[in-house]
Structure 1
Amino acid sequence: MGNESDPLDARLAGRLAELRTEHGWSLEELAQRADVSRSTLSRLERGEISPTAALLGKLCAAYGRPMSRLLAEVEPAPPQLLPASRQPVWRDHETGFTRRSVSPPHPGLRGEVVESVLSPGADIAYEEPPVAGLEHHLWMLDGSLQLTVDGVTHALVPGDCLRYRLWGPSRFVNPGPGDVRYVLLIVLP
């Protein structure tokens, strides 16, 4: 069955054809590298068949990339407009931390924007980053924040911007008296 009814399969077929061209490989060369018949590859790239997980696994191995990356490259484009009502908000009532995903992560994008609010007295420590080398740009909007990154404490006030790559522990402290509000731009390495 062809994949003309499945837009994701159609985009995947197109991306697989692009990858082969980018590598400068003929169908025959890719067939040898991936241990897949030339006719199967041809039909796959034309969108006449949908790939199986095993077939995608062989092609990803030939191209030297994880399947998750390949699939992220063919995800639909993220929505351009994210109304405030559709921005996910998460609250940690125990620590007094509120996090709004202004621009949530998407497989096709490397950055995300987060608005954070810390109640007076909030003290949040992270032992390690979720991804080593994560790039942060923290822009202070309200209050005063003591942010410790890799053992160095920074006292931030409204208007300040702290740019850093996160390699080790970090700690966010609101000494009070009011709320702290900041915007954080996160860029994946």
Structure 2
Amino acid sequence: MKEDKAPSSPSLNDRIAQRVRDLRASCGLSLDALAVHCGVSRSMISLIERGESSPTAVVLEKLATGLGVPLAALFEATEPAASPVSRLADQPQWRDPHSGYVRRNVSPPGAVSPIQIVEVSFPPKARVAYETGAREPRIHQQVWVLEGRIEVTVGDVLHRLDAGDCLAMALDHPMSYHNPTRKTARYAVVITTAAASWR
């Protein structure tokens, strides 16, 4: 029986660079237009697209909002997955240079699916605030705490979440994540762009 093996992949900065270039092109936006649209300077976007910058999660979220995609989309592979299985060793990890949080894209890269799964390791006392805005089509996500405790503020509403708790939200308000404890928290984020059809 033939076993699937993942091909070697470019660095994560190169992947982010390619994704931003491709998404900007698909939106028909110039560097200047995207800069105005998302509030990130033209020079910073240019550095990111050349793979010459290590942007923070906050900057990447602004870009994602301007491009109408979830943050996780900026870490996706440009080519469809060769296999429907995403092996732990092959799942790309990225560390936010500001807060130190580590995110891991769990879903198979480039899979044709409306669902994305991300796992986050959130350091003690860390805080990240996103100026998230509405996207079209509407994007929904759920945050499921696996270990520890986090505080998620959506708009003006604070949610205190312990291990096992799950929060559902739409990506259409500013939000922030905070780990108020002295221990690393771990949580999963499930994201979908498909409207729920069940009732």
With normalisation by structure 2, the TM-score equals: 0.53
- Does the Cα contact within 8 Å between 2:134 and 2:171 map onto a contact in 1? no
Q: Are residue 121 (structure 1) and residue 125 (structure 2) matched?
A: yes
Counterpart among 164, 168, 176 of residue 169 in structure 2: 164
What displacement does 1:130 show? 7.5
Per mean C-alpha deviation after superposition, the further-off stretch among 92-101 and 179-188 is 92-101
- Write the mapping of 1:11-30 to structure 2, written as runs, cut at 5 A: none
1:32-43 paired onto structure 2 within 5 Å: none
Question: Once the two structures are superposed, what CA deviation does each residue of 1:104-149 show, in whole Å capped at 9, x if it has no partner?
Answer: 5636211100000110111100011483632111110111100011
Does residue 105 of structure 2 align to residue 101 of structure 1? yes
Which residue in the other structure is 2:178 paired with?
Answer: 173
Give distance in 2, aligned partners of 1:131 and 1:99. Answer: 22
How big is the alpha-carbon RMSD for the aligned residues of Structure 1 and Structure 2? Answer: 2.0
The alignment covers a number of residue pairs equal to: 115
TM superposition outliers: structure 1 runs of 4+ over 4 Å: 75-78
C-alpha distance 107-142 of structure 1, shift in aligned 2 (>3 A)? closer
Q: Is the CA contact (8 Å cut-off) linking 1:137 and 1:162 kept in structure 2?
A: yes
Distance of 2:168 and 2:188 partners within structure 1? 12
Q: Mark the CA change 1:86 to 1:129 in structure 2 (over 3 Å): closer, same or farther.
A: farther
- Structure 1 contact 128–168 (Cα < 8 Å) conserved: yes
Contact 1:92–1:98 at 8 Å: present in 2 too? yes
SS in 2 for 1:176: coil
Structure 1 equivalent of residue 89 of structure 2: 85
Which secondary structure state, in structure 2, belongs to the residue aligned with residue 94 of structure 1? coil
The whole-number CA distance in structure 2 between the counterparts of 1:125 and 1:96 is: 13
Residues 1:76 and 1:155: Cα distance change in structure 2 (over 3 Å): closer
1:141 aligns with 2:146: yes
State percent identity of aligned pairs.
Answer: 36
Shift of 1:168: 1.2
- Work out whether residues 78 and 108 of structure 1, in 8 Å CA contact, stay in contact via their aligned partners in 2: no
Distance 1:130 1:82 in 2: 30
Q: Following the alignment from structure 2 to structure 1, what is the Cα–Cα distance between the partners of residues 126 and 158?
A: 16
* Aligned partners of 1:149 and 1:166 also within 8 Å: no
Q: Within 2, Cα distance between the matches of 1:149 and 1:78?
A: 37
Does the CA-based 8 Å contact 1:134-1:187 persist in structure 2? yes
Number of the residue aligned with 2:63? none
Gaps of at least 5 residues in structure 1 are: 1-74
Residue number in structure 1 paired with 2:157: 152
Unaligned runs of 5+ in 2: 1-78, 195-199
